[in-house]
Amino acid sequence: MRVLRGLCAAVVVAAALVVPVPAASAATGTDPVYDFAGAVRETVWVDIGRDGDGDGKPDRVAADIVRPKEPAAQGTKIPVIMDASPYYSSVGRGNESEFKTYDAQGRPVGFPLYYDNYFVPRGYAVVLVDLAGTNRSTGCVDVGGTSDVQSAKTVIDWLNGRATGYSAKSGGSKVTAGWANGSVGMIGKSYDGTIANGVAATGVDGLKTIVPISGISSWYDYYRSDGASFGFGPDGLAQTVEARNGGQDCSAENSKLAQGATANGDYGPLWAERDYVKQAKNVKASVFVSHGVNDLNVKTINFGQWWDALAASGVQRKIWLAQTGHVDPFDYRRAEWVDTLHQWFDHYLMGIDNGIEKQPMATVERQPDQWADQSSYPAAGVAATTLRPRAGSTAGVGTLSTSASSGTASFTDNLKGTEDGWAGNPATTSANRVLYSTGTLSSPLQVSGTSSITVTATPSTSSARLSAMLVDYGPATIRNYAGAGEGIKTGTNETCWGSNAPGDDACYEVTSADTTNVGYTVISRGWADLANYQSLSQEQPLTPGQPYTMTFRLASTDHVVPQGHSLALIVGGTDTDVITGPAKGPKLTIDLAKTSVQVPLVGTPPASPRMPKAPAGPLAHIESRAPLDLR
């Protein structure tokens, strides 16, 4: 945890004034008119109607609240901004890993992040909820399941008078939220944003909007990919977030997690319970998504499939896509993010007609710190385009176009493959992958949306993995998403975003883009277990020498391949940096006539491409990947 130090380099928002006037103005939006230092700080424990730890007592989740005292004194009820998290006492929140703090009587003092500092003076309450089994809540966390979702949903019910809250963790007197108007907006990064998705998928009354930042939409797609396993399961995460919350025995719940998340990558009941995409039809709240297109932690298929499912439900949507990895927009575009978030909450929680819903739907980072607005995501004019690999004069290397293909190509899975190893020498034969390129583009191509690949492969063994990726070949300066900061560098100066109070300041270290020069950029990835060719729910042993056809997804993105670059498809076996491999690596023979990739494109790829001239040596790319950290 970084300790906030000294004076801020720039005070962006002045200290709140105590002025007895309404906090909302249709002309200007909400202003910081309420006293933050004198705000009410309290904890309410809400009964979620479960007994997850089996102790014979209903689980109660702790909701730490900070709210301006003036509105209640004036008889005015206010909306709530909520962040429900398992991390308030385990790994912390934000780029500076802030934890909740309490005084000697157990009253909340320090609220992580800037939400309270910025929004409480503007007439909002901020409620930070400890998921069941974490920090000061009883029960057990279940990593995106019913307990996690109920932890936050029931607090919304309490804010609307439909659930019971208490003044203590056990016993205590009943507490009501007479100060709340029932309107709630949920926000949070990673696990927190995931819970926002899950609660929205219940259709709970009172939830008006959610802002999921790098959030999961289906936990299967956090731990697995089309039958392939990423090699870890939810029980480990549960134990991490429960570690500092003594007094509960969660071994039974953790055992359920371990057993339900089968190592073979099959989609089963545990994953179905945690699949919010299938419940997206229930969503009534507006949704403001933010995600890094190079997030290798919460992979981008999570925002893509959620976004597409929400489109069918007709809810108001907005999206920001950055070049970063797993990073909060507060740490890569701070001023613009806070301003946009302010307008968003003012509109959907305060009812202010500020036009935010009429602004461009999508904002995309094209180059580090260079942003472009789009009227929609996927981009207007996008068309699902089928590209087919065609053999060239070099074995395992050929062209990619809309033309029909024929023939075969082979490679061997040595169980040591990586995307950089496969992509580094695009014009030469590799024993471990095949590569097909559009050749040099005479005009740009924009990949906007979610791609998929259909592969017909004949394995030499009874099990096989497939990895596929789309690559933009050409020199570029990009955010160093595989570095320690996943595309950002953290400085020592600070800026302040709201009002300060003893033990809870609004100042955060300034960040900047961490960039690197590359010769190619991987823009979309996907992985699969060929044994799941018939069903994700049940793998089938493969018969060596028999062809199998499988369609699997590639990561959602929005990327422009510039004129003069080329777009390539690479197919390999086990990407050892990401998925677990079979016991023995097979030789895989690809039927090119029955293999294709469907890409959402704006622009027309060359009908008869020519391979670009071979580079002098291996191309530069990012050589390391940041460790996964679901924060």
Q: Are 280 and 309 in contact (CB under 8 A)?
A: yes
DSSP 310-346: HHHHT--EEEEEES-SS--GGGTSHHHHHHHHHHHHH
Q: Are 570 and 422 in contact (CB under 8 A)?
A: yes
The separation between CA 438 and the C-alpha centre of its own chain, rounded to angstroms, equals 31
| C-alpha neighbours within 13 Å on the C-beta side of residue 616 | 0
Place of tokens 């500076």: 96
Cβ partners under 8 Å of residue 510, min gap 6 = 9, 334, 490, 491, 493, 494, 495
d(CA 529, CA 552): 9
| C-alpha neighbours within 13 Å on the C-beta side of residue 629 | 19
Question: What are the tokens at 123?
Answer: 């007439």
d(CA 241, CA 191): 11
Instruction: Determine the 3-state secondary structure of 45 from DSSP.
Output: strand
Paired with 410 in beta bridges are 589
Give the DSSP H or E segment for 445: strand 445-449
Q: Please count the other Cβ atoms lying within 10 Å of the Cβ belonging to residue 424.
A: 18
What residues are annotated to the active site?
Answer: 190, 295, 326
Question: What are the tokens at 583?
Answer: 């016991």
d(CA 157, CA 163): 5
* Angle CA 483–484–489, to nearest 5: 90
Instruction: Determine the 3-state secondary structure of 177 from DSSP.
Output: coil
Closest CA to 73 of 40, 121, 24: 40
- Report which DSSP code applies to 585: P
